[in-house]
Structure 1
């Protein structure tokens, strides 16, 4: 983020390592607060820490209605892993 190379970053499933304590949520929030104003960061994943939710500009809660795995299909590369 500090290099200002891109304007959009998608940190897919990044909420999980914070939830599990593998990544320091306070450090993530600090980096997000100090990023250039022209950058957008999307963090996905369940169980986002409260501190991250409080610091975010936009929070969306999605719930599964239907998924191919419900019908026994295996996970797909690029989708589930």
Structure 2
């Protein structure tokens, strides 16, 4: 049985996907909005698990949809 493949993202991948635009923005997302902190792959390389990033994005989509439906229904 094959082990599940872990997809790792680097900062450039997050930026290319328009998840973040800068390191300071990324730091704010981690500190204030629960974005995954990632981990150091080596002393100079931080990576993020793609599934954790996708889960965070989906949670933001759900929260926005819920806030919209509550505003419309109110």
Q: Same fold (TM over 0.5)?
A: no
Provide the TM-score with structure 2 as the length reference: 0.27
Decide which structure has greater strand share.
Answer: 2
Decide which structure has greater helix share.
Answer: 2
Provide the TM-score with structure 1 as the length reference: 0.25
